[in-house]
Amino acid sequence: MNAPLRLGTRRSPLATTQARIVADLVTERTGRSVELVPVTTYGDTSREALAAIGGSGVFVGALREALLAGEVDAAVHSLKDLPTADAEGISLAAVPAREDARDALVARDGLTLGELPAGARIGTCSPRRAAQLRALGLGLEVVDVRGNIDTRLALVTDGALDAVVLARAGLARLGRLEAVTEVIDPLQMLPAPGQGALAVECRTNDTATAELLAGLDDAVTRLAVAAERTVLAALEAGCSAPVGAFGVAADGEHELELYLRAVVIAVDGSASIRLSATGPLEHAVRIGRDLAADLLAEGAADLMWERVP
């Protein structure tokens, strides 16, 4: 009998839930039992703002170290947390089917974004969300917050904040959708590249584990997020930059088409560049690269690194 697959995960309730989702898929599709191995990452222990500690990779490094050291056989990440550069010795073995990628508002008294009064305090740890909130021109006070989902929800129920913005996918996976007062239209707030998707990594030289995990892969999700992450990589932006990208696949006349939208926005919300591109889903990476080039031609590099006065 095969030993259980050792699956590395962060210790947070959401990360553990996501790892359990992957574990159940492995067992359901291959019959292999799975053991979750909790790993503490720097992003979990630091209380600094994500932008201050580097953003990209702070939740990933320790899991990758455990993987390379042979302490785990595979690791589960929120795909939006993965750096866009390849990691030596590590392969992206599977990208399971994506959850709803949109952002969600949790506000007091059941309010929507448009119903929050001017001066309302709204919390987020994401520069991307903060910038897009400021760009709406609603007069909201954006407050930087950290902590797991329940900690941030409590800021609203306890009255410390009027609202928080979170990924709908995380709320869904934790069974907290009843708290959502509005699912935010991507026309108002584009998600982070890869938001709502999971990434399962293994060692590149571990072909047996790679083959085991391959059955979890959803080709449409993998290509859509590849296009989004190509935008991020080509802009040379990390996951803490004010960049949103969202790819949706739909039936075209002869094949699946990808509709990709992206935004680069000044942190103070004073200016933004929003562009879109469409093409065959199989050309997802090229579509992302071309869209990033168009954004840069419009001045995206200058916007990304402006700071709130």
Whether residue 59 has pLDDT greater than 80: no
Instruction: Look at residue 115 in the predicted model and tell me its pLDDT.
Output: 97
The confidence band for 239, taking pLDDT boundaries of 50, 70 and 90, is: low
Virtual torsion, Cα 82, 87, 93, 94, nearest 10 deg: 10
Confidence of residue 146 (pLDDT cuts 50, 70, 90): confident
Amino acid at 210: A
Residue 54 scores a pLDDT above 60 = no
Neighbours of 35 (CB within 10 A): 12
- Return the exposure string of 7-30: e unless at least 16 CB atoms fall within 10 Å of the residue's CB, then b: bbbbebebbbebbbbbbebbeeeb
Tell me which H or E stretch contains 284: helix 284-297
Q: What is the pLDDT of residue 1?
A: 60
Does the structure show a pLDDT above 50 at 288?
Answer: yes
pLDDT at 92 over 90: yes
Residue 57's pLDDT band (cuts 50, 70, 90): low
Q: For position 306, what pLDDT does the model report?
A: 57
**pLDDT score of 209:** 97
Q: What is the mean pLDDT of residues 259-266?
A: 96
Q: Beta-carbon neighbour count of residue 200 at 10 Å?
A: 26
Q: How much is the pTM?
A: 0.90
pLDDT of residue 111: 98
The strands making up 103-107's β-sheet, listed across from edge to edge, are 141-144, 121-124, 163-167, 103-107, 182-183
What's 110's DSSP letter? Answer: G
The CA distances from residue 210 to 16, 67, 214, in Å, are 21, 13, 6
Alpha-carbon separation of residue 57 from 63, 199, 201, 235 (angstroms): 10, 13, 14, 17
Residue pair 94/18 in contact (Cβ under 8 Å)? The answer is no
User: pLDDT band at 39, cuts 50/70/90?
Assistant: very high
Residues labelled catalytic: 81
Q: Which residues of 148-157 are buried (b: 16+ CB within 10 A; e: fewer)?
A: bbeebbebbe
Is the pLDDT reported for residue 217 higher than 60? yes
Give pLDDT, residue 55: 47
For the chain, report the end-to-end CA distance as a whole number of angstroms. Answer: 61
Helix (H, G, I), strand (E, B) or coil at 278: strand
CB 13 within 8 A of CB 148: yes
Q: How far apart are CA 30 and CA 146, in angstroms?
A: 37
Which pLDDT does position 58 carry in this prediction? Answer: 66
- Number of Cβ within 10 Å of residue 252's Cβ equals 14
Lowest mean pLDDT among 48-62, 63-77, 99-113, 286-300: 48-62
Q: How many CA atoms lie within 13 A of 125 on its CB side?
A: 21
Is residue 11 a contact partner of residue 148, using CB atoms and an 8 Å limit?
no
Comparing 42-51, 92-101, 144-153, the range with the smallest average pLDDT is 42-51
Each residue's pLDDT tens digit, 118-139? 999 999 999 999 999 999 999 9
Q: What is the mean pLDDT of residues 163-171?
A: 97
| Domains of the chain (ranges, CATH numbers) | 5-96+197-217 (3.40.190.10), 103-183 (3.40.190.10), 224-304 (3.30.160.40)
Q: Which two tokens stand for residue 113?
A: 């974004």
Please give the pLDDT value at position 241: 78
| Model confidence at 56: pLDDT above 60 | no
Q: Whole-number mean pLDDT of the chain?
A: 91
E-assigned strands of 188-305? 198-203, 243-251, 256-265, 272-280
- Alpha helix stretches (DSSP H) within 31-148: 42-45, 61-68, 127-135
Stretch among 53-57, 295-299, 304-308 having the lowest mean pLDDT = 53-57
Q: Which residues contact 159 (CB under 8 A, 6 or more apart)?
A: 108
Pair type for strands 34-38 and 5-9: parallel
